[in-house]
């Protein structure tokens, strides 16, 4: 495995119940957070507190343009398209090139 492969990921605390329930199965990030490798398992932490929550397996990382984010992605994020696009703009105000990171919960890893 190559060096600098991320082994942790953070989510806003308010989104973690969706992650740990398995309802949220993707995350959309910018290039600085696009270096996840399919097949690797990463630890999930709350951004605000650093609290450990669970482990996820990275399934895929695919480039996407902001304008191509659709209801399909919103469903996988467990939110409406308007909410998803507003959240992305809150985090990445001007970014057009983003990445969809698809993941699944790793059984038996929940800390909650």
Instruction: Point out the residues that are catalytic.
Output: 24, 27, 77
**DSSP, residue by residue, 44-99:** EEETTT--EEEEEEEEEEEEEEGGG--HHHHHHTTS-HHHHHHHHHHHSSS--EEE
* Most distant CA pair in the chain, distance: 38
């Amino acid at each position: 495995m190559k060096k600098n492969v991320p082994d942790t990921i953070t989510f806003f605390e308010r989104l973690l119940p969706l992650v740990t329930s398995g309802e949220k199965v993707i995350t959309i990030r910018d290039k600085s957070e696009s270096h996840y490798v399919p097949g690797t398992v990463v630890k999930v932490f709350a951004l605000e507190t650093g609290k450990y929550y669970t482990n996820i397996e990275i399934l895929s990382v695919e480039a996407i343009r902001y304008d191509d984010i659709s209801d399909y992605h919103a469903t996988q994020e467990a939110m409406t398209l308007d909410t998803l696009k507003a959240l992305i703009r809150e985090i990445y105000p001007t970014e057009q090139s983003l990445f969809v990171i698809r993941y699944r919960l790793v059984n038996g890893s929940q800390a909650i």
